[in-house]
Amino acid sequence: MTTSWDQLHEKVCNQLQAIYADVHLEIPVGELATELLATMRLKADEDIVQPTPYCNYWDEEDIIMITYGDSVISEGEQPLFTLDRFLHTYCKNTINKVHMLPFFPYSSDDGFSVIDYSSVNESLGDWGDIERLAKHYGLMFDLVINHCSARSAWFENFQKGEGIGSDFFFTADPSDDLSMVTRPRVSPLLRETQTATGTQYVWCTFSHDQVDFDFRNPKVLLAFVEIIRQYLDKGAKLFRLDAVAFLWKIIGTSCINLFQTHECIRLLRTLIEHADPTVIIITETNIPNRENLTYFGNANEAHAIYNFSLPPLLVNTLVTGNCAYLKNWMMSMPPAQNGTTYFNFIASHDGIGLRPAEGLLDDEEISTLVHTMQNFGGKVSWRASDHGQQKPYEINITLFDALQGTTAGPDKWQIDRFICAHAIMLGMEGIPGLYIHSLLGTSNDYEKVANTGQNRSINRHRWNFEELAALLDSPYSQHHKVLTRISQLIRIRKAQPAFHPNATQFTLQLGDTLFGFWRQSLDRRQSVFCVSNVTNEEQSILLSSINLIGTDKWMDLITRDELEDVGGFLQLKPYQTVWISNMEFED
């Protein structure tokens, strides 16, 4: 099915008019739309593919690994080549997509302060290495769209007052009323900067090395559409829109989640899906749950949103032995309509965000969680509240160490608790994303924190490939045990139609010590009951309480044990998960 260039042009014009309704443009909207379409190589004399609405371009086989380009290194090799070798050796039958964290030249924040969007950091490799990875894996590229490095050529031109970038950055006056601005950091919002035209105060949402763009200038939009086109050419199949909630600023507002921001995402969706309908947009919006859900739009904005509330709620569940908060949240989550899905993760290069837990965990529960994580060696990053007070923004700790015990302290169940967390995530509605350091069972890197002075470095360890391989090949190491057990769960998941990201999900009511949900395949042939013991004591479940149909044969997909008495009890060891299915699909 195709659409005419004129129809697409009209749609883009309407979206631009909505975005720039309150902005005086020096270029007519029609000309801007034409330039955007030309940049994406959508030509008037060619048929343009019409994306199929509400189409799911994913299934149960999609598993995303999140990694830096140099998370695994080997002497004498480019890190991107080593990463490809690691994936081929240890993830061949499990991972099919890779989120490549920013691999561009940068000045700070481990890549999220981009100096040059158009080149690969030469310390990692080159575009040939990226294209080699893209032949075997669906690659997710970061589009760091809210800000760039203060050392970029664009910002240098801003300071000089001439050249590309001289008018790309958002400025304000210290006398402006900025009291309502939502801040994820405690650093000053405005950076005093000397320019050829005098002192200006540049908006910096995150740090003074990360200077915010001014999307009121359509040249900024055009620059990023050109970047998107280049990334598509280099093999990008998914785009992660980093910190996109802060994109549009209006003095006197919160400057987060504004209408124009949503409309900009819808415009990018229009351009990208007409260039390649199979490419997926994921919005990274580390904000309260209700606000995060709005980025689905009406299946015309993000294809997927980060399930940011899952990490703090799941860690809280497993360290307290009580799933009440997690269960209440799951019941409140609307099913993602076709054409959209959740991106589930429980660990990432950042920490465990606490803003997405606001309204879901009370202050006392959050305080207990923070204190427990600090006892396990974790760090805390802070933000300024609306009243100027410091509040915990995120906990910085590896997931493996976060689950080393309970609120009572460390215990012997660390690996089982860690695997339980992944079994819960892998069974849930949505596409699962696994951080490389969770796949490897990596512990806190205190040396890197000391070297960088950054709390987030605690979960950004850099492995030597040969040392890592020796550990992964040793059956006695925590790393071998973790990779083996998670890989087994992934292989089972990938073979079950009931684990399709959009398959039906229903929360089970099994009390506070057993967390459970039911999945049913889109064709309704397969049911899987996912039940996890979230405590360090044995629990029993009455199988009749989950309504297993007596005429079907049931088995646990994980242990391969058949359930002979569907009306009897099933004993679950501490942190054991069962996936009870009426059908077995071979992995």
Q: Is 242 marked within a binding site? A: yes
| Catalytic option among 242, 401, 445, 556 | 242
Q: Which two tokens stand for residue 368?
A: 């207990």
**Token pair belonging to 388:** 């100027």
Q: How far apart are CA 230 and CA 237, in angstroms?
A: 12
Question: Residue 241, annotated ligand binder?
Answer: yes
CA dihedral 175, 178, 179, 180 (to 10 degrees): 160
Beta bridge partner(s), residue 210: 149, 207
Q: Is 456 marked as binding a ligand? A: yes
For the beta carbon of residue 510, count every other beta carbon within 10 angstroms: 21
Amino acid sitting at position 208:
H
Task: Copy the structure tokens of residue 20.
Answer: 């720039």
Q: What's the CA gap between 317 and 337, in Å, rounded?
A: 27
What's the CA dihedral at 63, 66, 70, 74 to 10 degrees? Answer: -30
Is 326 labelled as part of a ligand binding site? no
CB 519 within 8 Å of CB 327:
no
Give backbone dihedrals phi and psi of 430, rounded to 5 degrees, phi first.
120, 175
Structure letter (DSSP) for residue 135:
T
- Tokens 């910085």 found at: 396
Q: At what angle do helices 5-19 and 29-39 cross, to 10 degrees?
A: 120
Catalytic annotation present for 242 = yes
Cα separations (Å) of 532 from 45, 122, 360, 408, 575?
57, 45, 21, 20, 6
Cβ–Cβ contacts within 10 Å for residue 202, how many? 23
- List CB contacts of 479: < 8 A, sequence separation 6 or more: 440, 441, 442, 468, 471, 472
Is 147 marked as a binding-site residue? yes
Can you tell me which residue has the tokens 């942190």?
575
Q: Known binder of ligand: residue 371? A: no
Contacts (Cβ under 8 Å, ≥6 apart) of 157:
163, 164, 165, 166
473 belongs to an annotated ligand binding site? no
Q: Is 183 assigned a ligand-binding role in the annotation?
A: no
Binding-site residues for substrate, in ranges, read: 109, 147, 240-242, 349-350, 456
Binding-site residues, in ranges, read: 109, 147, 240-242, 349-350, 456
* Residues designated as active site: 242
